[in-house]
Structure 1
């Protein structure tokens, strides 16, 4: 008998295990718009419905304070007061799909303008067009309401880690999303538009903007995301797509996420005694995600079981790193520096092998912490590329991303890869040593590392980076290295050097050591 709870695109293999069935990569338009979304709001989602209308589940105080948790990360939102067009105070949390669309728009606008202050379109109709929402005066009023609530919301992002010595490490970032707004709009229900003669403007808080520019955002393929956020009244599928796209490059082995853990993460409220409804709702939403994101492999386990593991199993999916979107911004600096160095004749020109740019691959692997890539010859990289692509059951849609993720998940390929079987062109020199990373002229100045007392030509001290990433580094050394790296990255940021990638990576290791 067909299981009516299983959506199209997901096939039931046994009575309690549901598998993702399609691995066929979906073609991606290279000109798809990119948007940007705060990572904290991907790990922990906004409410789906107005919490004030769920008094049957929540205590009155909880309708204005919302907390979601994902492993060691939690996000707490507290509603802020704003004054409406009639002069009355309003207090409520942002919720639903309009709040998510606006959060995507605010983050994207701030990063594209490279400023926390930017103007709104000259009319509500233009704003809805920019948000890709069909015009309607009622929708315009709802958008303005959610925008006001979003700007007034106070956020606390907390990293909570337990140490083996009976201590707990807690780091917090607190910010209000908006700090200033000048909105000129009509209160006429039949008009519901901005005053075209006066520019409306919003300003994000300095703390929220700094949180973003430190690298705490993820690129998003808007075409796919919009299909989910616009075609469904519930944005659960859109949230799951953001989460899966963010997780995909990090998965090197099967990862189990229970329904209970997922329930604590997403912006969903579950009526006591109806927990199975949550699993069915998520399963249906994942079916919608599968339709626009078939590259991601996952299994739903225990759909009908009353014991054992029940939840979502994420499988390694190298081709799910869509056009290298997740690490794209992190590697932009590497690509630009490499191009400048090639033009100046400082390094060997990049070569492509089976659709993979070897110099770029080396930089990407080094950037992700695989230091063996620095000394790997082009021939060794070719051998690793050959092994990865020969193992693929289907031709990857994006070889660069597929190979990078595969080698990062299996670093032994850089030590034991056999010689490639495809002949190399006669004019390609063999065993050319990897050229050292070269900074674009005038962008990165040398400095003296205060920890290791050595002059450093690159962005950060290599020895500090190694010590901070090593699991056995003692607390005092890790703390000293983090302070040195943190200060160096701040100096570079103020000098106009892009440091988002390094900031994200080293903050992660600092949190692990409990020194951030």
Structure 2
């Protein structure tokens, strides 16, 4: 258990927040306390590919989004509307939350057909995300971008290069808008269907995450990416593993100007890393100031026996 969690057990969150001197310390305490107080241990699911690469954090006009991590490279291309204009790439925390919902529900039900409307709205509300007004429009925009974009994974294999073209979903992805009194105002598409290729790959490369951790990080896309990465990496390690700042920037440095100094990325990464570790009490991550981070073997955020109960297909 990380130091922040030990301190909460010893002194309590309220006492520690009173003594906290920065906003980051207070956020860290709130996230750690929220995860530690979780009694339901609900599970979320994401594809392992998103533990190795990531979507943009901010809006971008790029024609192709490219992220690379070792032997794996992800390319994402925006789709086009009826007028032939690009709708843009999915980005930010809302796109990530929509994907988490779709992937989690698909594996829980064992079907690529996922219910939208009230079910998705209820999940978003449980994650602390409003689905009305401006927030609805943001979710709708990201849903449209996700439904129209295409992605290609490249990976090295036996001295050659392989690739796979696919989409997240087949057909349009539209949501139910909710009125202020909680009733449905408009129903577009009742269900979304993950593409067969993506669903098949998800079943073989699922990364379980803790729903309370996702909720605590729901508005922090970089911290959420780091949490998913740690959930994927740490429990399969057999010995401490160093990851350089160069490698970390290659994976998580989306949105940073190529000419920006490494110190700028390092400062931003470390702030988000602290929040990610706060949401993962078992995580053991050391910081080597000039070289990068050291990942140490530890338990996964979801116990294997819990995964077997909740997701027997995985």
Partner of 2:112: 116
1:175-211 deviations in Å (ceiling 9; x for gaps): 111111374767x9xxxx7525x76332222221222
Partner of 1:322: 301
Give yes or no for contact 1:124–1:194 (8 Å, CA) kept in 2: no
Give yes or no for contact 2:102–2:114 (8 Å, CA) kept in 1: no
Question: Which ranges in structure 2 are unaligned for 5 or more consecutive residues?
Answer: 1-20, 27-34
**Does structure 1 residue 262 correspond to structure 2 residue 248?**
yes
Q: How does 1:303-314 map to 2 (within 5 A)?
A: 303=290, 310-314=291-295
Q: How many residues align?
A: 281
**So what's the TM-score if we normalise by structure 2?**
0.78
For residue 210 of structure 1, the aligned residue among 182, 200, 207 is 200
Report the Cα distance in structure 2 between the residues aligned to 1:37 and 1:295, rounded to whole angstroms.
19
Partner of 1:33: 42
- Cα 1:294–1:254 change in 2 (3 A) is same
Report the Cα distance in structure 2 between the residues aligned to 1:88 and 1:195, rounded to whole angstroms.
26
- Cα 1:312–1:277 change in 2 (3 A) is same
Q: CA deviation at 1:258?
A: 0.8
1:483-511 deviations in Å (ceiling 9; x for gaps): xxxxxxxxxxxxxxx5x5xxxxxxxxxxx
**So what's the TM-score if we normalise by structure 1?**
0.49
Partner of 1:283: 270
Decide which structure has the larger Cα Rg and report it.
1
Give me the CA root mean square deviation.
Answer: 3.4
Q: How does 1:85-164 map to 2 (within 5 A)?
A: 89-122=85-118, 126=122, 128-129=124-125, 132-161=128-157
Report the Cα distance in structure 1 between the residues aligned to 2:305 and 2:163, rounded to whole angstroms.
24
- Cα 1:32–1:70 change in 2 (3 A) is same
Report the Cα distance in structure 2 between the residues aligned to 1:77 and 1:246, rounded to whole angstroms.
22
**Does structure 1 residue 246 correspond to structure 2 residue 246?**
no
Partner of 2:222: 236
- Cα 1:147–1:331 change in 2 (3 A) is closer
**Does structure 1 residue 195 correspond to structure 2 residue 195?**
no
Q: How does 1:307-456 map to 2 (within 5 A)?
A: 310-317=291-298, 320-325=299-304, 328-329=307-308
Report the Cα distance in structure 2 between the residues aligned to 1:75 and 1:170, rounded to whole angstroms.
13
1:404-445 deviations in Å (ceiling 9; x for gaps): xxxxxxxxxxxxxxxxxxxxxxxxxxxxxxxxxxxxxxxxxx
Structure (1/2) with the larger strand percentage: 2
Give yes or no for contact 1:181–1:201 (8 Å, CA) kept in 2: no
Runs of at least 4 residues off by over 6 Å: 330-333
Question: Which ranges in structure 1 are unaligned for 5 or more consecutive residues?
Answer: 10-25, 53-62, 304-309, 334-497, 501-516
Give yes or no for contact 1:118–1:202 (8 Å, CA) kept in 2: yes
- Secondary structure of the equivalent of 1:322? coil
Give yes or no for contact 1:44–1:75 (8 Å, CA) kept in 2: yes
Report the Cα distance in structure 2 between the residues aligned to 1:90 and 1:194, rounded to whole angstroms.
28
- Cα 1:64–1:194 change in 2 (3 A) is farther
Give yes or no for contact 1:245–1:326 (8 Å, CA) kept in 2: no
**Higher RCO, 1 or 2 (CA under 8 Å, sep at least 6)?**
2
